[in-house]
Amino acid sequence: MTHCYQCGTKLVPRELEREGIVPFCPKCGEFRFPIFSTAMSTTLLSPGRDKALLIQQYGRARNVLVAGYLSKGENAEHAVVREIQEEVGLNVTHMAFVKSTNFGPSNTLMLHYLTVVDSEDLSGMTDEVDKAEWFPLEEARKQVLTPSLAQRFLFMALDRLEHGEIVLLQADTENLWQG
Ligand SMILES: [Zn+2]
């Protein structure tokens, strides 16, 4: 970023206490920190927590995870619930945050969640998805696209789940916009 995203003035380097040198807009009088996109993805479990859902999209025969960008003003938990609803028509009952990763190629901070939904019924799948299929957890590890960020996230989520390192909390879908 070489110019201010508010007013277009050329940014100048300025010392900020405890942060080091940060680009500064002399016209706005504001430091301008890096801008990047934020997206979520999720390892999605069946109600019995013994199967994971993999999807195919954009005409590509490869199994990945439900994922999507956050909307402006939206928090990550809301985006997780919304994307699952929009892509496969399922309702989240439980969720837990797993891991974040900075994905350089698209300048995106990816937030990975583990979620449980209320049904295995895929009849509510939308045209955003070409194909969706439940796999037993060990089979899902074999079927996910390799190598991929989806694979890394899936393995991380399942490993932590199997080692009892993840606490799945009931999703408070009424209050997801808050906080
Ligand atoms: Zn400015």
Superfamily for domain range 37-171: Nucleoside Triphosphate Pyrophosphohydrolase (3.90.79.10)
Answer yes or no: are the C-beta atoms of 87 and 77 closer than 8 Å: no
CA of 20 to the centre of ligand 1 (A): 20
The Cα 151–Cα 137 span in angstroms is: 13
Task: Identify whether the C-beta of residue 92 lies closer than 8 Å to the C-beta of residue 119.
Answer: no
CA of 26 to the centre of ligand 1 (A): 7
CA distances from 159 to 113, 137, 138 (A): 13, 10, 11
Q: In angstroms, what is the span from residue 21 Cα to ligand 1's centroid? A: 17
One-letter identity of residue 122: L
Q: Where in the chain is the domain with CATH 2.20.70?
A: 1-35
Round to whole Å and give the CA distance between 63 and 59. Answer: 11
**Do residues 113 and 40 lie in contact, with contact meaning Cβ atoms separated by under 8 Å?**
yes
- Ligand 1: distance of its center to the CA of 153 in Å? 38
pTM recorded for the entire structure? 0.89
Those residues whose beta carbon sits under 5 angstroms from the ion ligand 1 are 4, 6-7, 9, 25, 27-28
Residue span(s) of the chain under CATH 3.90.79.10 come to 37-171
Q: What is the pLDDT along the chain (179 residues), one digit of tens a residue?
A: 899 999 999 999 999 999 999 999 999 999 999 999 999 999 999 999 999 999 999 999 999 999 999 999 999 999 999 999 999 999 999 999 999 999 988 999 999 999 999 999 999 999 999 999 999 999 999 999 999 999 999 999 999 999 999 989 988 766 665 55
Q: How far is the CA of 23 from the centre of ligand 1 (A)?
A: 11
Residue ranges with strand state E in 62-170: 66-69, 92-103, 108-117, 131-136, 169-170
What is the DSSP annotation of 65-92?
A: -EEEEPPTT--HHHHHHHHHHHHH---E
Tell me which CATH code domain 1-35 carries. Answer: 2.20.70
CA 2 to centroid of ligand 1, rounded, Å: 11
Between the CA of 71 and the centroid of ligand 1 the distance, in Å, is 24
Cα 74 to middle of ligand 1, angstroms: 25
Q: How far is CA 98 from CA 1, 83, 117, 157, in A?
A: 30, 17, 17, 6
Q: How far is the CA of 5 from the centre of ligand 1 (A)?
A: 7
Structure tokens at 118: 């209320």
